[in-house]
């Protein structure tokens, strides 16, 4: 995975530069997300690795209707360099670059049960204050947390779960 990210990074940066300069990062996001979903399909993934597949045919599988010419050329470049299997990583890195440019922090809130909207808004406001950026929250439920929540926002992880507190207590008692 690390090697795939290393290989994908320059392509993601180039795609983002093209999209930003053309002023259509949103359309590129959609097109890359579509291409990444298609490329991640196990049957398509094995097909993309086939050296007998012509670049134009590979691009035809991945290009979304109405995609701009630069997107089609970008996919053709990936096909020519046999990098189409990297599309999921490229799309993910592209979204990271876009969020950074738009000054958005993406946070994942995992709780023991579904959180009410008011509580999520309180978390969003606190994170916005901490990071000084807009916050997009994705939620998940993990019953093994027992209670509380774990917030993962980029490089910051805040573990306020009962499971985490018990683990810290156990560690403190063991030392």
Q: Do 134 and 105 touch, CB atoms closer than 8 A?
A: yes
Query: Residue 48: what pLDDT?
Result: 83
**What pTM was estimated for this model as a whole?**
0.75
User: What is the rounded average pLDDT of the residues 27-54?
Assistant: 89
Q: How far is 18 from 31, CA to CA, in rounded Å?
A: 13
Compute the mean pLDDT over every residue in the chain, rounded to the nearest whole number. 91
CATH topology of domain 2-100: Peroxidase; domain 1 (1.10.520)
- Smallest CA-to-CA distance from 74 within 24, 5, 16, 4 is with 16
pLDDT of 18 reads: 93
Rounded to an integer, what distance in angstroms lies between the CA atom of residue 12 and that of residue 66?
Answer: 21
Per-residue pLDDT band for 49 (boundaries 50, 70, 90) equals: confident
Q: Answer yes or no: is pLDDT of 106 > 80.
A: yes
Residue 110 near residue 145 (C-beta atoms within 8 A): yes
The per-residue pLDDT for 51 is 83
Structure tokens at 1: 């995975």
Q: In the prediction, which pLDDT does 1 show?
A: 56
Is a pLDDT exceeding 90 seen at residue 154? no
Predicted confidence (pLDDT) at residue 4 exceeds the cutoff of 90: no
């Amino acid at each position: 995975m690390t090697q795939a990210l290393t290989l994908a990074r320059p392509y993601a940066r180039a795609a983002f530069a093209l999209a930003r300069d053309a002023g259509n990062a949103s359309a590129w996001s959609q097109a890359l997300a579509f291409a990444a979903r298609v490329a991640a399909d196990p049957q398509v993934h094995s097909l993309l690795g086939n050296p007998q597949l012509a670049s134009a045919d590979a691009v035809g599988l991945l290009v979304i209707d109405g995609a701009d010419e630069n997107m089609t050329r970008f996919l053709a470049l990936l096909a020519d360099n046999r990098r189409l299997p990297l599309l999921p990583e490229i799309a993910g890195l592209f979204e990271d670059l876009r969020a950074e440019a738009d000054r958005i922090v993406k946070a994942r809130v995992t709780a023991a049960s579904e959180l009410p909207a008011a509580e999520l808004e309180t978390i969003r406001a606190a994170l916005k204050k901490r990071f000084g950026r807009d916050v997009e929250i994705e939620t998940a439920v993990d019953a093994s947390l027992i209670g509380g929540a774990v917030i993962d926002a980029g490089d910051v992880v805040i573990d306020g779960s009962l499971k985490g507190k018990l683990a810290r207590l156990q560690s403190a008692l063991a030392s």
